[in-house]
Chain A
Amino acid sequence: QKEVEQDPGPLSVPEGAIVSLNCTYSNSAFQYFMWYRQYSRKGPELLMYTYSSGNKEDGRFTAQVDKSSKYISLFIRDSQPSDSATYLCAMKGAGGSYIPTFGRGTSLIVHP
């Protein structure tokens, strides 16, 4: 079993839909949880960064962490075609340098 599981998709939704992206993990030591967006042939860019359990909102994006279930989610409201990209979850434990474990990414397609 991989440490971080993420459905690769693709996930295809109409413009304006609410998108839900998810990851599960097995390592209970993970404390920091991130979501990255990666456009085709580009490097990933950090979207959301949360510590421990709870919700965090930033514009149209909401990140949720449920440590008891080892489950994290990213919600995108009012999705736009420009949101079409691969979304990677990442997580790491406390301490040490910044070396997260990445999920394989979910490909999202928002069609007009």
Chain B
Amino acid sequence: GAVVSQHPSRVICKSGTSVKIECRSLDFQATTMFWYRQFPKQSLMLMATSNEGSKATYEQGVEKDKFLINHASLTLSTLTVTSAHPEDSSFYICSAEGPGTSGYNEQFFGPGTRLTVL
């Protein structure tokens, strides 16, 4: 099946610094990628939809200047958390849309990145 990787798997940073998270589709090209945020024992919260070669579409309440998304190629999207603060600590998961075995396009999720801001 399709594989999506994320890097790094976990990161600890000081308050005020910026952190970049990479999401790659390894064996397929993904025109559309998605970024989610998940708090403990909570569901996935869609942050933004990333389309290759165009600006990302952010969900209501998500600050686009704080969470910078770049989708420079069909296999790579990056999320940069700028001037991170402790309240940004969370589990960030990306997914990529691709052909699935169900016969429909599916979302394939990365393994997630645990961000801890001190």
Contacts and interface: CB of A to CB of B under 8 A. Distances in A.
B interface, size bucket: 20 to 34
11 contacts: A6-B43, A42-B112, A43-B6, A43-B109, A44-B93, A46-B107, A49-B106, A97-B49, A99-B49, A104-B43, A105-B41
Nearest to A88: B43
Contacts, number: 54
A81 interface: no
A98 B44 contact: no
A109 to B, nearest CB: 14
Contact of A43 (B42, B49, B111): B111
Main secondary structure of the interface of A (DSSP, over half): loop
A interface, size bucket: 20 to 34
Given A41-B112, A97-B97, A98-B107, A49 B43 contact: no
B32 interface: yes
Nearest to A2: B43
A32 B41 CA distance: 24
A51 B8 CA distance: 35
Contacts of B42: 104
